[in-house]
Chains A and B, each alone.
Chain A
């Protein structure tokens, strides 16, 4: 192997490009930079697995039905807080069809939310399993509970956790987030983010804007509910099918729970019906699904299928915490920010992780004094978990709307205020480009005119930004590429495609390197025996996997080139692979003929990805990775008589490094914008304060956006950035794309009305209350 070598890369974006020198680790292919001319990567390509999805052939975990499979069901605690006095599963065991029943709690155990595991059964049919649950006798002693964030903070509120709280960390969490700085009552303080002296900055300010913003609990609501199928292949060996974003996290947790060697747990996730941060590990955040399915299967001596229903999915598989953010902004006479101070409280139910992201700390970083304090407030509700850019959409909403309110007081264009304080050159470029493409200046005049006229239907225009990091992981993925004697090309890796389109991107990378059509590349994923890979959280997938695939493909290519050189009587450096042939000067050899010369069955090479080796042009705070920039503009209409907000247009300008497949990347951004719109306008978990249960654990009153609720027009602009971070230049986009949407919509509503609506979701009653047309509802 050659030693580490130095190379010059062309990096940057738009017209801001420059050459930098990087030291590449041994064996690492020279990165595709701004000068790279690529034939397949970067071109739109339909998903190669799409045919399976449009014909119903794609098998998801819900669809896995091994012979003699037993259907499991879980008895869940009906109380928000109760002590179990007695539990008797015996009466359920003798029912027809029932193959196993287990208690999951012991007498004396204190249960902390409605929906917590109590007992489980499996039977030949789903109905028989449900019947078995009805026969399990449990005596509860209900205890006082609190499900309301504000009340849980009061002195004398029922205390949720009596001991130290263990933090559950998954691959869905933002790297570097988490940790504790003390706990009192139900309030647990997270480490704060601090720069300069915010209190001093506020004292020195000429204008201070101070207000409280709230956001709601948001559930993932993936269409395929959490599900797991377990088949024991021996006393210490199991096959597991799981609807997961992290195949290896399932393998490792299942192995740990049953004291198995990880290599003896074979995990499959061929297709996954939606993953937004809650699907890691063999269990759901609020239900020990891996243990339940595994234990029932062991007792029943048959495969067991545990598929949650919609209610369970809402109540015990995680959510995005709510927030109550007190924001103070200080500005000098010239409109320069002197301080940003955010004090946030939010509930992650019985779990942790109610922080509000890095927006306030990291985006408008020319402000010299920043303090962001977050607190988890424990309540008797199912645990939160990472959800698409954990913390960020809530943080963005409060910060960006507060900035607009400050700008209004300063009589300053809110876009101008942002540009003055943003440090990231790509984000600045996005703000400027959006200003033109969105006709920002003209449109803001139009909205002002409608306000002045007191028009019934107003229009408003808002803008907000995102911050995320290139968290692509080194040394985590080992991809295998093979070229067979029959000319076939195959890529193998134990990765899951959660819908982002990585299967196709992997094929494109292999096709690019080997000069083959994308259709000729077979991609095998979704199986833990296909080689180590990453979980799809933190938007790391494309950045982690594609460099490993490229390295493997380059390894195969090098051997093929040697072979071709020998056949063509040329030197290896003269040989090119393209257009279905190996060529050297005028001589050429068809791909099929070249492959026939392969000795043995196939040429096989593996590839991995070294740690990130570049972060041009700007670093993400607290690490050495690249900071990803994004900006979204929103146009809304607001009917001031009904309070209904409609989103007319969103312009989303995002950076995801090299855009590997513009077609699937655009789908991901559409998805982020639509999720953000749904969060802004309609979604919210409603808890019954009297009974402590979720009232809308369904899809008719927990309202996720339908086709008529989404923006009438979504325009996606990628500002391609060459960061020199890895050999393909890819960065993730899944999470950044949803961060600024609700914030931009909130700002647009403020522009339309002239008064802010500081609480999400922006429901008609809140709009009317902000206008003074109806009284405001009680505390959020």
Chain B
């Protein structure tokens, strides 16, 4: 028998994610949007995104470029009169979009985040050179050429190391075991 509970709505899905529960409290005052440094670059403003979740527009929300423009500056979060953790909500939508394979192709940020995370997963530490090289290879290698002056400046001032910091073999194995276990637990929701 089909159980038509509220759990079928996108709003319920989002509010079941830790950090997403505040979505029910929004009064659409627009404070988050007015505070956001990047609201004008987003296909949907932060407050629109909340309204769209509540209107059950799952596909439109998850394929929006909006949350990928979030800078995690937390200005919306500290200003929201309803105490909604808007930044955490953006992260939750990012993760959901990734899981569903819907993350926006109209910004390179999802690929950049993925390159970063892959490096951290495999090394336990971030290799700045490696991660940037991987990102440019996956997006637009020609852009790497335009970044050459910045890279040369960093090298000239002794700030770029090719060799990444490595954890001890035991620590590497331990971290891998933890992260692999986390993956089988399938996210936080």
Question: Are A and B subunits of one complex?
Answer: no
